[in-house]
Amino acid sequence: MQNRLSSSGSIIVCEQEREVRWGDCDAAGIVYYARYFDWFTDGRIALLKQIALPYQQFFHEQGITVVAVEASCRYRRNLKPEERYILRTTLSYLGRTRMIFDYLIIKPEEATGKATGGRTVHAFVDGTGKPFDLKKKRPDLWEKLLKHTGLPNNK
């Protein structure tokens, strides 16, 4: 698996070149629909790690949980075992209480390329599950997050 990170204006993008494993597929011989959400998690964790904000140390060990509050996936083309694909993860929004990630699964050998697209919305919560305003309660972490992402200070 290869990882590439790029920044385009106010958007952070991480690309991973991957291959479909046989274990990712269902009895029909195509990727099982829920597996895409596992891949989205892989992309999100890789993106945060590549911008020097590994999830475990930056959020979890600081008492902040990043919970999924919304997830969607649109399946356009099936992927099969041993097919190559690119997982493109984008940190498209950073706010004081949440982050939004967008995902594309791309078949690199095809001109149209796009196989699947998705989005996850994540809220910051404290140890009791209550919403957490990162800027207000942990300004040190908020500033570090802004610095490492280069994203604008969204309200």
Query: What residue ranges define each of the domains in the chain, with the CATH number in brackets?
Result: 2-147 (3.10.129.10)
What's residue 26's pLDDT? Answer: 97
Q: Is 40 helix (H, G, I), strand (E, B) or coil?
A: helix
Range in 49-53, 113-117, 126-130, 143-147 with the lowest mean pLDDT: 113-117
For residue 89, what are the β-bridge partners? Answer: 14, 103
Provide the mean pLDDT of the chain. Answer: 87
Cβ 36 vs Cβ 106: under 8 Å? no
**What string of H, E and C letters represents the secondary structure of 89-106?**
EEEEEECCCEEEEEEEEE
Place of tokens 């969204």: 154
- Give the DSSP H or E segment for 70: strand 65-75
The pLDDT confidence band at residue 21, using thresholds 50, 70 and 90, is: very high
Please tell me the distance from the alpha carbon of residue 84 to that of residue 93, in angstroms, as a whole number. Answer: 28
Q: Full-prediction pTM beyond 0.85?
A: yes
From its phi and psi, is residue 150 left (phi > 0), alpha (psi between -120 and 50) or beta? left
What token pair was written down for 93? 């929004």
49-85 residue pLDDT tens: 998 889 999 998 988 999 999 999 999 989 999 999 9
Distant-in-sequence, close-in-space partners of 23: CB < 8 Å, separation ≥ 6:
none
